[in-house]
Amino acid sequence: MIRKRNEEMTNQPAQGPDLIDAKTSRTVAEAIGERLRIDARPEQSKLPFQLQLLLDRLRMLDIAPQDIGREGTSRIVPDCRMSGSR
């Protein structure tokens, strides 16, 4: 039964009892990443006040005057308050 399941996989089959194929590994990593995006939102994990001030200042310095008010203008600091959907 295990041999048949391995033959049905599109990627390299696992070579040991603790190994998984690349497709399964990628799926697990994506699921973990999605869960982290949900559970570790910036508003839930506050930065120290001084660090938040420095990041805010860096964002202000990074935005060119002609770009003020436009979304996605930062070139240095990514917006850590972005939603999970892109």
Spatial separation of the C-alpha atoms in residues 24 and 26, rounded to whole Å: 5
pLDDT of residue 81: 53
pTM: 0.34
Same domain, 62 and 85: yes
Per the structure, the count of domains in the chain is 2
Q: How sure is the predictor about 19, in pLDDT bands with cuts at 50, 70 and 90? A: confident
Same domain, 30 and 55: no
- Domain carrying residue 78: 46-86
Q: Any residues with CB less than 8 A from the CB of 70 and at least 6 apart, and which?
A: none
